[in-house]
Amino acid sequence: MRAVRGATQLEVDERDHLLARVAEMVRDVMTSNDLAVDDFVSIIFTATSDVHAEFPAYAARQLGFHDVPLICARELEIEGSMPRVIRMMAHVETGLSRADVTHVYLHGAAALRRDLTRVHAVPDEPADG
| CATH number reported for the structural domain that contains residue 53 in this entry | 3.30.1330.40
Q: How far is CA 58 from the centre of its chain?
A: 13
pTM: 0.88
The DSSP code for 92 is E
Cα dihedral 61, 23, 82, 114 sign: positive
In a domain, 99, yes or no: yes
SS3 28: helix
The pLDDT tens digits along the chain (129 residues) read 999 999 999 999 999 999 999 999 999 999 999 999 999 999 999 999 999 999 999 999 999 999 999 999 999 999 999 999 999 999 999 999 999 999 999 998 888 876 664 556 566 665 454
Q: Is there a domain that residue 128 lies in?
A: no
Beta bridge partners of 5: 89
b/e for 68-92, b at 16 or more Cβ within 10 A?
A: bebebeebeeeeeeeebbbbbebbb
Range of the domain at 28: 2-122
Number of domains in the chain: 1
